[in-house]
Structure 1
């Protein structure tokens, strides 16, 4: 790693950025530098604009990815180099407001029932039961499972925050069965060869295989279990503020997207056409 990137890493640590964010920001600046074959401090505002445009129009990268690259480059110039690259002249990508795709309870039940591998079943059950991000599932330790208080302790989650989520009774039964067979010693779901935590990609594939086996054709990912957790709680009458805390959202506006996914109250509205004869 170059001295500049070492300094950037130190700046990220001093600012309290999570390890995942540190890695993402450093990787983004490396990609930016490699794109031009130059050290990043030699690149101009126009180079930044062209790089972001290329990422959108040629590489077809997502809005989230491009906006994270934007933030990474901005941090590098403004914080690490203490230079003003006038990033205000370079607009961020406007993110499309798409509703997340949610699985029904029957679909979740089918996915879990058809997952025969006990370790895979434990992973998917825990993801849905506690509404976890895939990175949070990867980083769970045995000590994070608090069966006395029926809660799961999530460390260093998004935004470098700790929180607690639910440990469901059915989830605990599956975890106990899993523990008896696999006997993990530190990480809850380790790679059996390296004993390091399973990778995000491995868990994503576990979900995709289970989804395909269940015959679900919706465009869903492992993260859809988290969306489903929140939506199913909201439909059952749980207050939005509690769901916000369980998900670890800083802003309740982020959680409020699930209001658009629940049809309980909307379906009780009577069409004006049906009242014309009254």
Structure 2
């Protein structure tokens, strides 16, 4: 009709069905996502399989990070299948797919391990196919030594960090031996000055643990608390009571290393 746009309802309906299971990522333009779904859309059977996969991850109580890793790796496989049902794949098919990821996509050994774990989860936990896929080949990971800062380097990091909040954050990280995700999730009431301990909630493996609180760190944290008055989280954003992002904490450390010449 003149002056009016015509909508392709079939494509729109298919897109909306995909969107129920495949939410648009925050940094992905809508037009790009529509094109992606059109070119690599999931069949109705695989769409149901993907929903069941995500539901099982939730029921198993996997951490948000593991949930996203597994979901993204399984989605990668489903998008390449087209109309082929994922339930029809055999161990030989999966081995060919892993070779494709290594040789054509150039994925690292670590990413291949993630893909294997994600695929095994579907066949063993969702489809209940026993341990048919338990011995999928995994590439050997390169053995690398962790970079450990010397004591004088850590002292230099602290001394050359003028901002009190940033200095307290760095001291807490190194003194208590915390992962960055554990650091930003610390709460004010996790600091036990009577027993000189720090409660780390739901660390690796979703386990709580206690770590020592040194006298020097306690002194710095008290000074920091008097100046910044955090309400809930130990390290909160400037304009809100929300916790620091892991990225912000990493940037603080990177800048401190630069100032210290490390």
Pairing 1:129–2:175 present: yes
Question: 1:19-98 residue pairs with structure 2 within 5 A?
Answer: 19-34=64-79, 41=86, 44=89, 45=91, 48-57=94-103, 59-83=105-129, 86-88=132-134, 90-98=136-144
SS, match of residue 165 in structure 1: strand
- Superposed CA offset, 1:90-133 (max 9, x none): 31121223221211100111111111222221111111000111
Structure 1 window deviating more from structure 2 (81-90 vs 144-153): it is: 81-90
Is the contact between residue 17 and residue 159 of structure 1 (CA under 8 Å) also seen in structure 2? no
Pairing 1:158–2:207 present: no
Point out where structure 1 has 5 or more consecutive residues left out of the alignment: 217-278
Is the contact between residue 18 and residue 156 of structure 1 (CA under 8 Å) also seen in structure 2? no
Question: 1:103-252 residue pairs with structure 2 within 5 A?
Answer: 103-216=149-262
TM-score normalised by structure 2 residue count: 0.71
Structure 1 residues 172 and 51 mapped into 2: Cα distance closer, same or farther (>3 Å)?
A: farther
- Superposed CA offset, 1:62-104 (max 9, x none): 4333312321221122212324684346311212232212111
Structure 1 residues 9 and 112 mapped into 2: Cα distance closer, same or farther (>3 Å)?
A: same
SS, match of residue 92 in structure 1: coil
Point out where structure 2 has 5 or more consecutive residues left out of the alignment: 1-19, 22-47
Q: Give the corresponding residue for 2:24.
A: none
Is the contact between residue 138 and residue 189 of structure 1 (CA under 8 Å) also seen in structure 2? yes
CA distance in 1, matches of 2:85, 2:196: 49
Structure 1 residues 106 and 68 mapped into 2: Cα distance closer, same or farther (>3 Å)?
A: same
CA distance in 1, matches of 2:85, 2:252: 38
Q: What RMSD over aligned residues (CA atoms) do the two structures have, in Å?
A: 2.7
Structure 1 residues 147 and 11 mapped into 2: Cα distance closer, same or farther (>3 Å)?
A: same
Structure 1 residues 103 and 11 mapped into 2: Cα distance closer, same or farther (>3 Å)?
A: same
| CA positional deviation for 1:176 | 1.5
Q: How many equivalent pairs are there?
A: 216
Q: Give the corresponding residue for 1:272.
A: none
SS, match of residue 156 in structure 1: coil
